[in-house]
Amino acid sequence: MISIRLKYILQQIGLSGFTNPILVGISGGPDSLCLLDILHRAGYPLIIAHLNHGLRPEAEADARMVKQLAADLGVEFVLGKEDVNGFALENKLSIEEAARFLRYRFLFSQARQYAVQAVAVAHTANDQVETILMHLLRGTGLSGLKGMSYVTLPNAWSQDIPLIRPMLSTWREEIVQYCQEHHLQPVQDKTNLDTTYYRNRLRHELIPYLENYNPQVCKLLWRTAQTLAGDDEIVEQAVASAWKDCIGEQGPGYVFLSLSVLLKFGKGLQRRLVRQAIDRARPGLLDIGFETIDRVIGFITSPCRSANLSLVGGLYLLIEGDRLWVAARGAALPDFEWPQAPRDKQIELNVPGEVTLPNGWRLKTEPVRRADLPFSYHSNQDAFQAWLSSECLQQPLIIRSRLPGDRFQPLGMDGRAVKLSDFMINAQLPRRARSAWPLVCSNEEIAWIPGMRISQQFRIVENTHQIVHIQLVKIEQG
């Protein structure tokens, strides 16, 4: 019965048949002996791998026993030995974490050497339930609640060798029975390495306790995990597809999303996408709390958002128009070639004349007679061109970036002066672009802010005859 199910699962996993061997991790305990026996009887070519964790006095004897078993079966045997205690101490890991890490490292290094088609481990249905409960108690999401999978590829250890767990739907009591029926003699592992104290408490105390509430609880939890695995697949696919739709650009320490696209998705997808953006901006930042994501969602969906929000882990959020940046402090965000003036000096510009700005832009001037004013002057469609009253302008024009205290009289506000910084904010000029945004000045006065507005003071009025046409143009590349 177990073996039929196992063979069916191996078929479903889609192993490429009986050509390349499967490397099977054998501790010598009942689970792994059962797995080994079934795989061997089914005719799969195998390699038995055993890691001596160096933790118990019996470890040497266990290794010899597994080696002997391999010899009896006529199966290749590889043995590893590690100092788990030392490794744990060195890397500040728990014994279990260290053992787990070293075990998989050993299995996959051997797997690569032997070019196997898969690494098989003997996790059972009980292990699955314990894993889910452990995740639940420690706080988790969908990916934790779905538990382990029959096949994991890519996995933390390989892009091309799958980690398989064919026993994941087999219960421990079935295994014990199988071992009896087939006269398998597992070693007695007193620490049960794979199961820390915490896991043992779960197994021997919590689960029996929960069975008081529902004797079927293990089976039900197992099924819940199975169902959630399907849902997790759906979510992953939906997130991947939505990510493609809203990702703008990604670089070292930053990523930006299209805010308008992001806001079209439901809250659930928004959360996932923000989480992913944080993860891309700072890979390996493990502790992205629930509250952080919540704050970000609140920030971007609130109608009166400011442009900047500090996050955990030295990250911040920045909104520039439709761009939602998630970036590490200090990361060099691309500036998208905004027009910028030199920060440290002023440039003189004659009429006619032209000057080149540092960031791939050019300012050009020419005198225009009143009669030659083009129609576009009236429709005012291009904020990167301006027509100013030459009679009021002091020449040469001065091109500079903003200075503390700068004020400006925007056209159409009856000559009222506003703080330049306020004007730039109202015009939704990205903060990073503001400090070196080019200003066209006459003496001290700002005559034109390219891309935004001319000054009321320099507008063309009824009796203006001499006019200056100014253009800010992007220099064509190549």
Neighbour order of strands in the sheet with 353-357? 353-357, 361-369, 466-474, 385-389
Which of 33, 36, 47, 42 shows the shortest CA–CA distance to 8?
Answer: 42
Nearer to a second copy, 189 or 245 (CB): 245
Rounded to whole angstroms, what are the CA distances from 343 to 338, 347, 470?
A: 14, 11, 21
Least distance between a second copy and beta carbon 190 (Å): 23
Q: Does 234 bind a second copy (CB under 8 A)?
A: yes
Q: Does 209 bind a second copy (CB under 8 A)?
A: yes
Q: Which of 123, 199, 272, 400 binds a second copy (CB under 8 A)?
A: 272
Q: How many residues does the chain have?
A: 478
* Residue span binding a second copy (CB under 8 A) among the ranges 64-72, 208-216, 333-341, 446-454: 208-216
Distance CA 302, CA 90 (A): 47
Q: Does 213 bind a second copy (CB under 8 A)?
A: yes
Q: Does 271 bind a second copy (CB under 8 A)?
A: yes
Q: Does 277 bind a second copy (CB under 8 A)?
A: no
Distance CA 82, CA 377 (A): 80
Q: Which two three-digit tokens encode residue 3? A: 């073996």
Enclosing H/E stretch for 385: strand 385-389
> Which amino acid, one-letter code, is at 18?
F
* Residue span binding a second copy (CB under 8 A) among the ranges 79-87, 182-190, 223-231, 305-313: 223-231
Least distance between a second copy and beta carbon 256 (Å): 22
Q: Does 214 bind a second copy (CB under 8 A)?
A: yes
Residues 283-312 within binding reach of a second copy (CB under 8 A): 290
CA–CA–CA angle 186, 187, 189 (5° rounding) = 125
Rounded to whole angstroms, what are the CA distances from 460 to 109, 203, 377, 389?
A: 78, 85, 10, 5
Least distance between a second copy and beta carbon 150 (Å): 11
3-state secondary structure 94-129: CHHHHHHHHHHHHHHHHHHHHCCCEEECCCCHHHHH
Which of 361, 15, 65 shows the shortest CA–CA distance to 189?
Answer: 65
Least distance between a second copy and beta carbon 220 (Å): 4
Binding residues for a second copy, total number by CB under 8 A: 41
Q: Which of 55, 206, 307, 418 binds a second copy (CB under 8 A)?
A: 206
* Residue span binding a second copy (CB under 8 A) among the ranges 75-83, 131-139, 332-340, 469-477: 131-139
Phi–psi pair at 245, nearest 5 degrees: -70, -30
Least distance between a second copy and beta carbon 267 (Å): 6
DSSP-assigned letter for residue 254: E
Least distance between a second copy and beta carbon 232 (Å): 7
Which of 471, 236, 221, 448 shows the shortest CA–CA distance to 363?
Answer: 471
* Residue span binding a second copy (CB under 8 A) among the ranges 81-89, 231-239, 279-287, 378-386: 231-239
Least distance between a second copy and beta carbon 300 (Å): 14
Residues that bind a second copy (CB under 8 A): 136-142, 145, 201-202, 206, 209-210, 213-214, 216-217, 220-221, 223-224, 226-235, 237-239, 266-269, 271-272, 290
